[in-house]
Structure 1
Amino acid sequence: MTSIHGNVALLIIDAQKGFMPAVFDAKDTVSRIRTLLAAAREAGIPVIQSQEMHRKERVDFGRELDGSEDIHCLEGTSDVEIVEELQPIEGEFSIIKRRYSCFFATDLDLLLRGLNVQTLIVCGFLTDVCVHYTCADAHQHDYYVKLVQDAVSGSSREAHEASLSAIQYLQAESLVYAGEIVEMLKKPANA
């Protein structure tokens, strides 16, 4: 069983309609994220969702388009919408981001400190891009990371596996499975 340090929050990264065609096993990944989300809600832990969103004038992409990515996640398009099965509810938090990491130029760190969170349970899209950069930044900000490896999908299986390995290198006990987290969340806090 996975060990958890301090208070936890569930961070769902970019579970947006526009990313579904870009990743492998999108439907299965969304299903596992939905299971995690239900368990987090039942346990009463904070839920935070990020959305990558760029201005329609395309002034905030920076170097993002230098690689393989094309124009994506423009404000006002359906691509930025959270998939139906994972829609946030009252009392959950949202982070709009212009870059890969949920920490870069957002108030995520401030929110986590306000919630007194020490451990992030991370799932979402894309393993090799936004998930990877967010986990690396979480590590740099001294958070414990529990990356739910069967609740993330990447641009390819090879890129997905490489990112999992890189994150595991940063924090030796960071990779977990959805079933482990669901069981952990069912246990009372003092158990």
Structure 2
Amino acid sequence: MGKKALILIDMINTYDHPDAELLIPSVRKALPHIVHLLERARIKGVPVIYVNDNFGEWRSHHGEIVQAALAGPRAELVSPVQPDADSLFVVKARHSIFYETPLSHLLSQLAVDRVVLAGQVTEQCVLYSALDAHIRHLQVTIPENAVAHIHGDLADASLLMMERNMQATITTAESIDL
């Protein structure tokens, strides 16, 4: 069995976008499970990689993205999952965590072949990232209670697609053996 990494997708967020009000209730529900996964990964020394949108701010670096989210109106959704000194951070510009990012190279350097994808949005960035991980021959696990959605019906369909079409393991955060 290969090495795992926990990847948190777009959790550093100002929630200043048109669909934020639809997303926030699901984030609130998923947040305790994400925090639990994050704590377990850190205790076990599992690499934690944040892959996050840059929100079109091409001169920003990860510290500025974190500070903007912590200074925003929804800091209570960001503070519990903020990166620590050991966390790795990759900035993305599109939906997939792999598209035009160094993530594949980073995972290779870490000898990771199994990824746990948590974060937001299930029917967008999580789905597209799971597909890109699958085509890179990575084993994918999605903790369904540690991903947040905008539209519940699309999230359910996305989880089913990830399981059937990408052979992703769909489970709960508490069931994942890190």
- Aligned partner of 2:114 among 111, 119, 124: 119
Residue 145 of structure 1: SS of its match in structure 2? Answer: strand
What is the deviation of 1:51? 1.1
- Can you give the 5+ residue segments of structure 1 that lack an aligned partner in the other structure? 58-73, 186-191
Match of 1:95 in 2: 90
Which has the greater radius of gyration? Answer: 1
Match of 1:12 in 2: 8
Deviations 1:53-109 (A, max 9, x none): 13359xxxxxxxxxxxxxxxx999546x88110011112101110000000000000
Counterpart-to-counterpart distance in 1, 2:28 and 2:133: 27
Match of 2:81 in 1: 86
Match of 1:21 in 2: 21
Counterpart-to-counterpart distance in 2, 1:76 and 1:180: 32
The 5-angstrom pairing of residues 114-153 of structure 1 reads: 114-153=109-148
Q: Is the 8 A contact 1:54 1:75 kept in 2?
A: no
- Aligned partner of 1:109 among 98, 104, 113: 104
Residue 167 of structure 2: SS of its match in structure 1? Answer: coil
Residue 9 of structure 1: SS of its match in structure 2? Answer: strand
Residues paired across the two proteins, number: 163
What is the deviation of 1:30? 1.1
Match of 1:163 in 2: 158
Q: Is the 8 A contact 2:162 2:168 kept in 1?
A: no
Amino acid at match of 2:31: V
- Can you give the 5+ residue segments of structure 2 that lack an aligned partner in the other structure? 59-64
- Name the one with the larger helix percent: 2
Supply the RMSD in Å over aligned alpha carbons: 2.4
Q: Is the 8 A contact 2:121 2:150 kept in 1?
A: yes
Q: Is the 8 A contact 1:55 1:75 kept in 2?
A: no
In structure 2, relative to structure 1, the CA distance for the partners of 1:40 and 1:159 (3 Å cut) is same
TM-score, normalised to structure 1, is: 0.78
Give the percent of matched residue pairs that are identical in Structure 1 and Structure 2: 27
